[in-house]
Structure formats: structure tokens, C-alpha cells
Structure 1
Amino acid sequence: MLTTKKMKHDRTRHAKTGMFTMAAAMKKKLVAGLILLAFLVTGTGSSLFWVQGSVFAAVGETSSQAAEPDAAPADLNDPAAVAAFIDKVMKSNMNTFKIPGAVISIVKDGKLLFTQGYGHSNIEEGSPIDPETSLFRIASTTKLFTWTAVMQLVEQGKIDLDTDINSYLKTVKIPDTYEQPITMRHLLTHTAGFEEGGVGYQITTDPKKLPVSISETLDKHMLARVRPPGEIVSYSNYGAALAGLIVEEVSGLPFDDYIQKHIFDPLDMKYATVQEPVPASLEPYSVLGYASKNDSFVNEPPTFEGGFRPAGSGSVSAIDMAHFMIAHLNKGSYKNKQILNPETAKLMHSTAFQLHKQLPGMALGFYELNMNGQRVISHGGADTLFNTQLYLVPDKQIGIFVSYSGGEGGGAAENLAKAFFDHYFPAPEIQIPPLPSNIAETLQKYAGSYKFTRRNFSDIDKFFSFMVEMKVTISDDQLSIGEGEERMLFALIEPNLFQQVGGPHQLGFRTNASGEITQMGFDFMPDLPLERAKLMDQTKLWFPLLGAAVVLFISVLIGFAIRIRTVNKMDGPQKRAVWLSVATAGWVLLTCILTVTLLMNMDTLERLSSTSTSVNIYLIMPIIFLGLTVALLVSAIMAWKDKYWTVFMRVYYTLVVLAAIALSLFFYHWNLIGWQFG
């Protein structure tokens, strides 16, 4: 759950004044945890529950690396000093986060300021990382190519940002679930209202399954529309892939060819591709991805996006990404080649959607960040082996691209960004205004449980968001997330806006027409807001029910073992009723054990790449349990009708039936009855 130790560590700069030093250290951990959470989830498309373990595992390490802001900013116009500083941070991160290979490029004022490779592209062969030629998988950072392609077609008049996307789609049609259609602006800002999905089909490691048609993939795995478009951000790989399909069908060029011809070629990006697998001519330059096992690095097969490639198939070198960053910072131009008109580039970089007017929001394809008072537009990406982050600071003409092949790359990327902005743009001092007199009453409406908008509702994917919720409570006239020393505190600074106590971040809320709180979001992850959770989606409902049910079923088995001779002497109907309760108890306990050991322990790659035989067999079990529950209910009715046993035993039997019904509702609500794959 999102209220675990490591989560709070990163946001916990919120202790009171007397505990500021301790709070400052804990704050870094919690902020890092949530940033890494956003970072990894955005990149892989996987459920928050699936990746939270790996995210939080890196949090404790992250906190010790980022230095406190300098008293005065360092000089970015001194290339030698910049190189020395970045080199020191990168090498430290490589060691701390156990990373086998990394690369970075930094641009300023239209020029390459610094670039360097670290570690190896192939450990076995000892091949060093070359920032000019080494191809890193950049996962969701690929979306920036897709969004740039969309904006090229917008400025050509071939796409209108506010027209129904169905008017551009030829092979796939989006259902008219809501009166308001989905537009390209909605896709660019991730406000189209799609649910999340991906179990069994999001990625593959088998190159023999490639190439895959984008249109066929999107049609086969169409996601439900669960919110009206334009209402709230819900980061969507499906929406990005749809945008790529529109580029393909409007331009008349295959997606891969369009990106090559209209972005890579003009920008002289010779070591860049969105093809899967990479073309034979570039294959020798591909950086291998490594997993950490038993204190050593093990090469793992790369993952492929297939039909979702507009959302994450890119492989690019650091210097080529420098060309791309320069073009975006230089009004769409690189070495006299214009990939976007200045007006289009400005529009693309401008705020297009905000949860709260004071918080960073979504630009057209980029998400905004406030880093030590600097407006940053950014995008990251992560798959099971690579982590990437790109930051642009338009007002300062600065761009940073960093990518890691294995290890805790998400923690390293967050740490690098913090170190860079603390060094060159020290954070301003933050003052929290006095609290109003009626603050305790005011805060009540914000308390509760929240879930990320990016989740599934229709398929088995929904189950993996079961334990992913964020609890907001009230403590000392402040909002608190977490418990004990891990908690993060936020003080009210204006209606629906809170400032982190002892830290730089802000938390905002949105209300409905009745003034009720409906959504909340952090300033450092505008692409991953949360919404107030319904009771049926909260662990506070299910945990007591599940716990009570399990205790009852265990008592059934224990009681049967103790009284087996008495049971065997009962009349036929009574004996069958007892045996039915025993069979139901044993079956459901086995089902619960497999739910935890099989489903919850599946790794990200396994969940997203296939539906295993074991999972398909497991899904028979809730169906059989549902049948047993119905039989148990009928048996309970007969027990009362024919007055089996004592009244006490009949009441006990009825409680067992209610426990079975509760567990049946759990399996039903979390889409574990039947084979509900997207």
C-alpha cells in the first residue's frame, strides 16, 4: 500500500520546526519514492501495485545521495566545472544504485554542453558506452517523438486538436461512450478518459512476434472509456498508440517511416530508431539490459512494445537526443532544419491542462515540473531493464537527457535531477502563512483514501490496484500521508492547495459543484493524479471482511477435525451440509493462498507479456468457489427449515455462508471470476 515506510520517506520533510533536520532527510526518501513510482509506472504501463516493491526498494538509497542546495548557484557557463560536477554525480550514482551502464547529454543555448558514457554496453565483451553511438531503450520517452509528429501534422492543417479523433481513424473506431468525443488535445494531455490495461499483451520478449500492426493491436485490445474526456489526467499508453496510428493513417506513411523521415533525418539522428527489433545496421550499437541477481548483472532479453510502439519503442543515443532537445528549445530548429514552426513549438510547450491552477500541469505531450522554482517540461520512460528521463528548461535554454541500463535507474535519475537543480538553481526559501482559526474543521473534507486515476476497471488488471491507495489523515492541523516517522505533512496555504512542511512540494485538490473533494495531485507528478476512492475499492472494507472470513473457514476445518466422529454419525442431509462447509473452507483457503502466492508474486514482465497456463488454471478456482457458495447458501436455508443441529450451530453455519458470500463478492469486484483479459 502507498502508506508504507518507503513511501513516506520521500515526502517527509514535514516534521515540526524542532524536528526539521530529521524531517528533511526523511522527506527526500518519500519524495524520491513517489517520483520513482510515477517514473516507473509511466514508463512500463504496469499497474502501480506491480512496481511498488522495486520503487520503494530504491528509496532508502536515494535519500542519502542528494546534497542540500548550495548557498549560491554554480556557473553553468563553465563547461569544465559542469563536466567535473556531473561526472562526479554520475559515478556516485553508478556505484550507489548498482548500474552497469549509463549515458547523459546536456545542452545549453543550442549547443552540446556535456555528454559522457559510463560503464558498459556489453559487460561480457567489455564494450564501453559511447554517447554518440550507444542505443539505449528509452521506453515512454518515445512518446515525445509521437507527440512531435502529431504537432507537425497539426501545423500542416491535417489534424485539428479539437476534432473527434474518429474522423482521422480509418481502421479503428472509438465507441461513443460519452456525448463528448475524444480529441487529439485529449490524447496529448492524457485526458481522453481511457482505463489502464496490459495484462498478457502489453509487451513481448519474442522478436518472432514482430512486426505487429498498430491498428490490429489497438482494435483487439481496445480499452474502455471510463471518464468523460477532458475531466482528469489518466496517463495512457493506449492513447499515445492511438495518436501514432493517426499519424500513420493521416500521413500515409507507416509510423516507423514517418518518425525516421520527418524527425530523425532532419535532426541528423543517425543512431535512433523506433523500429522493433532495431534495424540490422544499428543492432551492433544496442546497449544490453541487465538485471541484478545474486550481486551480479545478468543480461536479460529486451522487451518490445509491438503494436503499442508509438508509446515506447524508441532506441536512441545520447548525442542524438541532444539534437532533439536543441530543436525543441530552439523554436523547432536544429542546424537550419525546422521540424516545428516556432508558434507550434511554443504551443506544444505551453500549459494545456491543470488539476489546480497553482500546480504544474500537462503541456501538449510533455508534463510540467517545478524544480527549485524553474519551470521544467519533461518526460520519462522505464521498462524492466532501462530507465530514462528528459528535462527541458525553456526559460534557461537547458536540456538534460539521462538513461540507465539496469540497476535502480529510477533512483539515479531522480537523484541526478535534484543534484543538478540544487547546484545550479538553489531552491528559494518557502514561507508557510499562518493557519486560519477554523483549520481543523476545514481539513476534514480532505481526509480519506485516494486511488490513482491510472488503473483498470474492466479486466483482471483491476486486481493489481487492490492494495494501491493513498490515505490522507489529519495531524496537528496539517494533512498527513503516512504514519510515524515516515509521514509527510502538508499545511494549507490557500483553498485546496497545501505546501509541504519543510520541503518544496505542493499538494492540490479539486472539488465538484457541491464542494466535495474529488481528486488530488502532487506537483511533481501531474501525469498521475489520484481520485477519492469508493468504499468498495478501499482496503478498509476488504481487509476486515477477508480476515474474518479466513478465520471462520479455518475454524470450520479445525472444528471438523475435532468432531469428525460426531459428524459421521449425523443424518445424511446434516452430514452432507457439514462436508459441504468443509469442502468450501478448504477450497477457498487454497484459492486465497494461490491468489497471494501466484498472482501477487508475478513479476512485471510475466504479467504484461503473457497469460500463463498457471494463471488460466487458477481462474477456475473462484468459479468453483462461487458454485460452492451457492450450494452452501441452499444448505443453510435447509438447515433452518429442517432445524438441523442446535440454534447456535445454525447461526455459526450461517456466518460461514456469509463469509463465503463476502469472498465471492471480493473475487467478483476485483475481476477474478472468469478469464477477464483485455
Structure 2
Amino acid sequence: MKHYHVPAVSIALIHNGEIEWTKVYGYLGADAVKKADEFTLFQAASISKAVAAIAALQLVEQNKIDLDEDVNTYLKTWKIKNSSFTEKKPITLRGLLTHTAGLTVHGFNGYAQTEELPTLIQILNGEKPANSPAVISDLVPGSVWRYSGGGYVLMQQLLEDVTGSEFPTLMQRSVLSSIGMNRSTFELALPFLWPEQASIGHDSSGKKISGNWHRYPESAAAGLWTTPTDLARYLIAIQKSLRGGSKQVLSKQMTEKMLTKHLGDWGLGPALYGDNDSLVFGHTGGNEGYRCLSFSYAYSGEGVVIMTNGNDGMDLIMEIKERREKVFDPDHRLDEHINKYSSPNEVCLFN
């Protein structure tokens, strides 16, 4: 941990569909004043996308959104401008979830505590104070796989327009509370007393991020605060739904659709690899000052979540993975996906 300038690492291991153990090492910050524990919060970064996808698929099950309908049909406050690309094929929820919608903007840098936050519309338009370019269509939908955090911002707007609820409220009601993720929130401002239990983000030199962490109004793409234990509950809920043993979040049929491969070996939210009994779903995340990984076998009931509060945390995660590989990655397949999907904005196994 010292070598990688990572003050804290928190781990939850899943075995036979249950949380077998949790381990936490280090401190909330590099000052080593307060120890981290199993209740310590971390930014989940792009793992947020896989969790947010659940809410979208619930609306599909409720017949409020069609996976393959033009999303402009449902959007009210902002619509995708027609182009030569969308004339050939419309942008759909399926495309947004699988990163095949042909939309731009890979990831987001977040906003310091002193910076003005943009609205969702300003982010989509690339207008100040947004610090990211406009989300536009520059590829024929469905033609190629290209990771797009911008697509998930559009999905966030879609969910708000369809439900009439603010995204954090919708997620709390329909997903987080249902799963029992009681130490998780998509709120930009952490609830009362939670800031005292939040880990502080650190750069690659071990220096804390100004203001302790950045804020991400691109909530569906990068805004979840959570713990490894809560993310393990999310993974287990999907495992149970897939077996038909629980409709806690989705039906068995919808869960099967979610874990069906599309272009880029991507499902409706999570990344996928392997097949049949060896099918794996997961995601990684990389916000400023945080790196994390979630990884689960769909049918065997095994999985792991590792969260850190340092920009070099993925190197530490890989070292932990190598020591635990016999448990959750005996074939070294994780390395292949981290190398394939790594990027400067968001470090990803599947990001």
C-alpha cells in the first residue's frame, strides 16, 4: 500500500452466494489519523454504470421503456439531434447500456469542491461550467462498440424524464434500498455524518485530492458512493435473480437478458466474459483519487469487490488479485480485460 501511495483498501469476498469475509486495511487519508473500516465509503466510479443499469431495466420490465425504441420518443427535456448516423438507425436504451449507441465522451474528470456544478443539460451540451465536451452521435448506432460515459449521462436524463424523479432519489427507492445497500448513495452531497466516514482520494504521489474528493453530477456514469460489502450485495442479488430465486431487483428473464453478450462482450450494464457456467460479469472504476473492481461468476456464486482511495490503486488491486487468483481468477482472464479496456480517464476492466 505504501509503495502505491494508497492509504486504504477494502475487500469483500463472495463464496457460494454469500459474503464470506470482509477485510479493510489502512486509513481514510494519508495522514493516518482515522482507520478505515467496513463502513468506510469509497467512490465506485464507473461501477456506478452497472448499478444504474438495474433501474433502467426495471422500467423496461414495467413497460415504461422499450429496449429497442428510439430514446427520443421518451426524452422530454433534451433530445439527440438527428444526424446522418441516427437516420440510418435510432439510438436506443439497449445501445446506451451496451456502449453501442455511437455516442461520444468516454469519461469524466469530476468537479472540485470549489467549482460550480453544471446541470445535466449543460453536460450533455458541453456548455460551461461543464468540463467535458458535448455528447454527440458520430457513429451509426449498433455498428461498433465504443465505451461512452456520455451515453450513461443520456440514460440518466432518460430515467429522470420517464419517472419524473431525480436520479439519486430513483436509485435509492428502486435499487439501493431494495438490495439492502444501506451504505450507498448517488447524492452529490453525502448524507449527515457520512463525510466523516468517507475515504479521501489521493493522487499517484500520495497527495490528497483538493477538497478530499471530486463531485460527479454525471451520477449514472460515475457518482455512486458505496462500500465493498454493499457492492457485494448487488452482485449477489444478480446471482440470485439469475437462478430465479429472487425478484429483488429483476426477474430471471430480464437478468438473463442483462447478461447476454452484445458487441464488445458487453451486457446491458456490466461487461461479460466466459460462457455458460463460467460466465463472469463485472466492472471496474477510476475516479480522481479512487480505483475499484467488482467481479462475479454468474452461476457459481463466487465474486470479489476491491476498493481503494489512490490513483495507483489498480496496481494494488492487481497485486491482491494475484495473491487471491486461485479464488476468483484462476485463468488470469482479468489481466486481459484490464489491458483491453484501460484508458486515461477511467481505469477499467470493463470500464
Counterpart CA distance in 1 for 2:161 and 2:244 is 27
> In the alignment, what sits opposite 1:399?
303
Counterpart CA distance in 2 for 1:124 and 1:410 is 21
Counterpart CA distance in 1 for 2:243 and 2:228 is 18
Q: Which amino acid aligns with 1:305?
A: Y
Q: Deviations over 1:593-613 (max 9, x none)?
A: xxxxxxxxxx979xxxxxxxx
Contact 2:30 2:208 in 1 (8 A): no
Q: Which amino acid aligns with 2:251?
A: N
Question: How much does 1:242 deviate?
Answer: 0.7
Counterpart CA distance in 2 for 1:118 and 1:523 is 26
Counterpart CA distance in 2 for 1:335 and 1:122 is 41
> In the alignment, what sits opposite 1:117?
24
Contact 2:105 2:134 in 1 (8 A): no
Counterpart CA distance in 1 for 2:180 and 2:319 is 31
In the superposition, the TM-score normalised over structure 1's length comes to 0.46
Contact 1:207 1:277 in 2 (8 A): no
Counterpart CA distance in 1 for 2:247 and 2:334 is 39
Q: Deviations over 1:310-338 (max 9, x none)?
A: 10011101211121111011117999671
Q: Deviations over 1:122-145 (max 9, x none)?
A: 3436211111x1110111111112
Counterpart CA distance in 2 for 1:181 and 1:320 is 36
> In the alignment, what sits opposite 1:305?
216
Question: How much does 1:176 deviate?
Answer: 1.8
> In the alignment, what sits opposite 1:350?
260
Question: How much does 1:409 deviate?
Answer: 0.8
Structure 1 residues 309 and 504: alpha-carbon distance in aligned structure 2, compared to 1, 3 A threshold:
closer
Counterpart CA distance in 2 for 1:157 and 1:233 is 27
Counterpart CA distance in 1 for 2:244 and 2:230 is 11
> In the alignment, what sits opposite 2:273?
369
Q: Deviations over 1:626-678 (max 9, x none)?
A: xxxxxxxxxxxxxxxxxxxxxxxxxxxxxxxxxxxxxxxxxxxxxxxxxxxxx
> In the alignment, what sits opposite 2:149?
237
Structure 1 residues 122 and 249: alpha-carbon distance in aligned structure 2, compared to 1, 3 A threshold:
same
Contact 2:50 2:283 in 1 (8 A): yes
Contact 2:7 2:29 in 1 (8 A): no
Counterpart CA distance in 2 for 1:278 and 1:327 is 25
**1:156 aligned to 2:62?**
yes
> In the alignment, what sits opposite 2:94?
185
Question: How much does 1:225 deviate?
Answer: 1.6
Q: Which amino acid aligns with 1:348?
A: M
Structure 1 residues 334 and 203: alpha-carbon distance in aligned structure 2, compared to 1, 3 A threshold:
farther
Q: 1:323 aligns with which of 228, 233, 243?
A: 233
**Highest Rg: 1 or 2?**
1
Q: Which amino acid aligns with 2:282?
A: S
Structure 1 residues 175 and 410: alpha-carbon distance in aligned structure 2, compared to 1, 3 A threshold:
same
Q: Deviations over 1:101-126 (max 9, x none)?
A: 11011122231112111100134362
SS of alignment partner, residue 331 of structure 1? helix
Counterpart CA distance in 1 for 2:240 and 2:334 is 29
> In the alignment, what sits opposite 1:175?
81
Count of matched residue pairs: 335
Contact 1:291 1:300 in 2 (8 A): no
Q: Deviations over 1:520-576 (max 9, x none)?
A: xx76666579xxxxxxxxxxxxxxxxxxxxxxxxxxxxxxxxxxxxxxxxxxxxxxx
Identical amino acids, percent of aligned pairs: 24
SS of alignment partner, residue 280 of structure 2? strand
Counterpart CA distance in 1 for 2:308 and 2:244 is 26
SS of alignment partner, residue 179 of structure 2? coil
SS of alignment partner, residue 395 of structure 1? coil
**1:141 aligned to 2:51?**
no
Contact 2:242 2:298 in 1 (8 A): no
The aligned runs of 1:177-576 (5 Å cut-off) are 177=83, 178=85, 179=87, 180-196=89-105, 202-206=109-113, 209-210=116-117, 212-219=118-125, 220=127, 221-293=133-205, 297-298=207-208, 300-301=210-211, 302-306=213-217, 308-331=218-241, 338-354=248-264, 361-370=265-274, 374-406=278-310, 408-422=312-326, 426-427=330-331
Counterpart CA distance in 1 for 2:261 and 2:27 is 39
Structure 1 residues 332 and 338: alpha-carbon distance in aligned structure 2, compared to 1, 3 A threshold:
farther
CA RMSD, 1 decimal: 3.1
Q: Deviations over 1:44-103 (max 9, x none)?
A: xxxxxxxxxxxxxxxxxxxxxxxxxxxxxxxxxxxxxxxxxxxxxxxxxx2443321110
Counterpart CA distance in 2 for 1:323 and 1:425 is 20
Counterpart CA distance in 1 for 2:328 and 2:135 is 43
Counterpart CA distance in 2 for 1:238 and 1:333 is 32
> In the alignment, what sits opposite 2:349?
none
Contact 2:241 2:247 in 1 (8 A): no
Contact 1:165 1:182 in 2 (8 A): yes
> Higher relative contact order at CA 8 Å, sep ≥6: structure 1 or structure 2?
2
Counterpart CA distance in 2 for 1:368 and 1:418 is 20
Structure 1 residue runs of 5 or longer lacking an equivalent are 1-93, 355-360, 428-502, 507-521, 530-602, 606-678
In the superposition, the TM-score normalised over structure 2's length comes to 0.85
Counterpart CA distance in 2 for 1:417 and 1:316 is 21
Higher helix residue share: 1
Question: How much does 1:224 deviate?
Answer: 2.8
SS of alignment partner, residue 250 of structure 1? helix
> In the alignment, what sits opposite 1:126?
33
Question: How much does 1:417 deviate?
Answer: 3.2
The aligned runs of 1:529-678 (5 Å cut-off) are none
Deviates more, 1:134-143 or 1:406-415: 406-415
SS of alignment partner, residue 299 of structure 2? helix
Structure 1 residues 604 and 265: alpha-carbon distance in aligned structure 2, compared to 1, 3 A threshold:
closer
Structure 2 residue runs of 5 or longer lacking an equivalent are 128-132, 347-351
Contact 2:109 2:345 in 1 (8 A): no
Q: Deviations over 1:258-307 (max 9, x none)?
A: 001111111222211111132234222111112354xx64454311222x
Counterpart CA distance in 1 for 2:250 and 2:334 is 33
Contact 2:109 2:287 in 1 (8 A): no
Higher strand residue share: 1
